[in-house]
Structure 1
Amino acid sequence: MKNQYLYQMKNRYKIVVLLTVFAFMSSFVVHKFYVSVTQIDFVPKKQRIEITSRIFIDDFEKGLKKKYNKDFYLSTKKEIPETNDYIQKYLEEKMKFVINNKPYKVTFLTKEVEDDVLICYSKVQFSEKITTFEIFNSVLTEMFSEQKNIIHTDINGNKKSVLLTYSERSTLLEF
């Protein structure tokens, strides 16, 4: 009985030591988190869908550089003049919308910086009642397989959220 107790105590001690070592070691390992957040709002009065995407600047620069083989220097004095054209081209390819079974083009409007995040404003001209809304978002998935693209929608007064990933890049919402 006493030997069994000592055996259990030694095993517990080993587990505690291993967990402590693991916790200590993991505090030195930086694990990058790859995520974008996109808000999609249908604004019938303006006859458009407004899209606001928040993407980490450093990740977006890496993605743009890989895609177009250029340094963009986003949100710095060295930013190249044609940056907005490349962002438009990139977002057209990486974000697609099929509304009521018909594809629509995303138009990039402008961008701004908030801390280490680039906020991209885009729109889709649309004036009908929305019954189905298919969203395709593969922003930065070609660069980071761990990329998560969170989508929040407010369409016809209905709020929904979805998570898109490298393996699941699209979703269909019904209203």
Structure 2
Amino acid sequence: MNSKIKYGVFFILVLLFSSFSLHKFYVSVTQIDENVKKGRIEISSRIFIDDLEKALDKKNNKKLFLATTKELPEAKQLIQNYLADKMRVTINGKVQKLVFLGSEYEDDVLICYLKVDNSQKIATFEFFNAILTEIYSEQQNLVHTNINHNKKSFLLTNSERLANIEN
């Protein structure tokens, strides 16, 4: 009887863990740092390659083969266009130009580097992030900021896409 109980508990645990692994977690992580010495805002965003590829393939009606030897030559430009459409920085009430610096693959994540030139004192800072929300309603975009030496974190979702900082 004791072995039957152990077997039953083991079976239930296997079912529980396998059901958890069937539900995928949709998340991106963006770090935003004010670099006063260089007069700019530095942004790095980590996005799962397979999720981004799904969004880009749907938007552009073509398979990009990200992070493979078959990656299309225009992939970087399409990534840049996507980020320009899905991210926005507003400083002191004025929308800023996001400059795409480049990207790199790290395991199953694409890391994108951007900047916003800024030499003014920041009174208000807004960051709009709608990455992958058109594909996954449960998408969560974590945003960590370091503006005016104040660190804050935000959880942006399909219904809440804007992080606001007032100093």
Task: Report the TM-score when normalising by structure 1.
Answer: 0.85
Does 2:59 match 1:67? yes
Mapped partners of 2:144, 2:116: distance in 1:
16
Cα RMSD of the aligned pairs, angstroms, is 1.6
Does 2:108 match 1:108? no
Residues 101 and 25 of structure 1, relative CA distance in 2, 3 Å threshold: same
1:152 partner letter: H
1:13-92 to 2 correspondence within 5 Å?
23-29=13-19, 30-92=22-84
Question: Can you list the C-alpha shifts for 1:31-60, whole angstroms capped at 9, x where unaligned?
Answer: 100000000011111111110000001111
Does 2:144 match 1:152? yes
Offset of residue 156 of structure 1: 1.3
Offset of residue 123 of structure 1: 0.8
Mapped partners of 1:24, 1:59: distance in 2:
27
Question: Can you list the C-alpha shifts for 1:132-165, whole angstroms capped at 9, x where unaligned?
Answer: 0111100000000110000000111111100000
Q: Structure 1: 5+ residue runs without aligned partners?
A: 1-16
Aligned length: 158
Identity over aligned residues, as a percent? 57
Mapped partners of 1:149, 1:51: distance in 2:
14
SS at match of 1:46: coil
**Is the 8 Å Cα contact of residues 133 and 174 (structure 1) preserved in structure 2?**
yes
Offset of residue 171 of structure 1: 2.2
Spell out structure 1 runs of 4+ moving beyond 2 A: 19-29
| Structure label with greater radius of gyration | 1
1:85 partner letter: Q
Mapped partners of 1:108, 1:83: distance in 2:
13
Offset of residue 24 of structure 1: 4.2
1:112-151 to 2 correspondence within 5 Å?
112-151=104-143
Task: Report the TM-score when normalising by structure 2.
Answer: 0.89
Offset of residue 27 of structure 1: 2.5
SS at match of 2:127: strand
Offset of residue 23 of structure 1: 4.7
Mapped partners of 1:99, 1:39: distance in 2:
16
**Is the 8 Å Cα contact of residues 49 and 123 (structure 1) preserved in structure 2?**
yes
Mapped partners of 1:117, 1:53: distance in 2:
10
Q: Which residue of 2 aligns with 1:8?
A: none
Mapped partners of 1:147, 1:22: distance in 2:
29
